[in-house]
Amino acid sequence: MKIGFICTGNSARSQMAEGFAKYYAKKLGKNVEVYSAGSSPAGYVHPLAVEVMREIGIDISKQKSKSLEEIPLNKLDLTVTLCGDAAENCPIVPRANVQHWRLFDPVRVEGTIEEKLKAFREVRNEVIKRVKKLIESL
């Protein structure tokens, strides 16, 4: 089973989903290959995404922001898009098996570091809930 998590920048939501899916699939002994990519990759994994994942014991610091061309898009069994609002350019994925998870982009939050961390934690918690349900269903 090959799963791809796709969003715009591939710096936060899809990176968290990739990290948790790899962790949880391994924990459950599921044979799953996990990828993430963005339609307009940011070129980095957001440091606050790394931080909030580290808080729960998952290290995504070695992951990198990738374009759709860098993953086996046409060989994915399931594609999950994670774009949250109309201002984002959510990619069109040429696959029959696509799920859309409407998730707010925490990168867009302005304010104090605590306000930003709160947004990243909220998105992380939603990603974990959805990824856990997805992996368990395989």
CB 43 within 8 Å of CB 78: no
Q: Which CATH number fits domain 2-137: 3.40.50.2300, 2.60.40.10, 2.40.110.20, 3.40.50.620?
A: 3.40.50.2300
Please say if the pLDDT value at position 117 is more than 50: yes
List the catalytic residue out of 90, 98, 109, 117.
90
| 94, pLDDT greater than 70 | no
> Of residues 6, 7, 32, 135, which has the active-site annotation?
7
Is residue 98 within 8 Å of 80, Cβ to Cβ? Answer: yes
Report the candidate in 31, 33, 28, 58 with the shortest Cα–Cα distance to residue 45: 58
Concerning whether 90 is annotated as a catalytic residue, the answer is yes
- Is-catalytic flag, 83? yes
- Does residue 33 have a pLDDT over 80? yes
Out of 34, 58, 83, 93, which one is annotated catalytic? 83
CA atoms within 13 Å, Cβ hemisphere of 1: 17
Hey, where are the domains in the chain?
2-137
Residues 6+ apart with CB under 8 A from 130: 17, 101
Q: Place 83 in a pLDDT band, splitting at 50, 70 and 90.
A: confident
Q: Tell me, yes or no, if 100 is annotated catalytic.
A: no
Beta bridge partners of 99: 80
Q: What are phi and psi of 77, to 5 degrees?
A: -80, -30
Work out the average pLDDT over 13-33: 97
Burial zone of 67 (CB within 10 Å; 0-12 exposed, 13-18 middle, 19+ buried):
middle
Average pLDDT taken over every residue of the chain: 93
- Cα distance between residue 130 and residue 120, in whole Å: 15
